[in-house]
């Protein structure tokens, strides 16, 4: 109840100062946002104290953690090592299950026997990135040789 009384006194002071000095519209908006936040926090604090406690405890715990957590790097490393998809399977799904040259279908179980090739050869200025790779079928690979 004291909090609402304090807000009432603060609002009365703001109103009297506004009559005397004519605050800008942005100042009035800032005060309005402050009142809304204050009333919301008061409501939550009064009727849901457990929620407020959990929020502030979470903020406190986050502030105590170091900026870079070594355990997070280890989890990321584990995820990379347990990746079940090979480079060929990723290219297979990107190309819609088709050969990049002849547009024939490459079945999912045949993706591992397909060949990876460069879209633009490195000798001709191509890069060694995944964007420059394509998956071709065995027939296109044998015609290439």
pLDDT tens string 112-144: 889 998 899 888 888 888 888 999 998 888 887
Q: Tell me, what's the pLDDT at 70? A: 58
Beta-carbon neighbour count of residue 91 at 10 Å? Answer: 20
Give 32's pLDDT tier (boundaries 50, 70, 90). very high
Q: What does pTM read for this prediction?
A: 0.41
pLDDT tens string 34-89: 999 999 999 998 999 999 899 899 888 888 876 655 565 555 555 445 455 678 88
Q: Tell me, what's the pLDDT at 126? A: 85
Q: Tell me, what's the pLDDT at 82? A: 46
Structural domains in the chain, sorted by start: 2-74 (no CATH), 87-144 (3.40.1800.10)
């Amino acid at each position: 109840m004291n909090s609402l009384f304090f807000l009432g006194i603060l609002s009365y002071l703001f109103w009297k100062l506004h009559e005397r000095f004519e605050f800008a519209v942005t100042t009035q908006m800032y005060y309005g946002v402050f009142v809304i936040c204050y009333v919301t926090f008061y409501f939550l604090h009064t009727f849901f104290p457990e929620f407020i406690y959990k929020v502030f405890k979470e903020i406190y715990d986050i502030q105590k953690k170091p900026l870079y957590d070594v355990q997070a790097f280890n989890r990321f490393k584990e995820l990379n090592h347990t990746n079940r998809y090979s480079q060929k399977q990723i290219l297979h799904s990107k190309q819609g299950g088709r050969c990049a040259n002849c547009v024939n279908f490459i079945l999912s179980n045949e993706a591992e026997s397909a060949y990876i090739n460069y879209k633009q050869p490195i000798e001709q200025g191509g890069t060694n990135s995944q964007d420059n790779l394509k998956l071709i079928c065995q027939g296109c690979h044998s015609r290439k040789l």
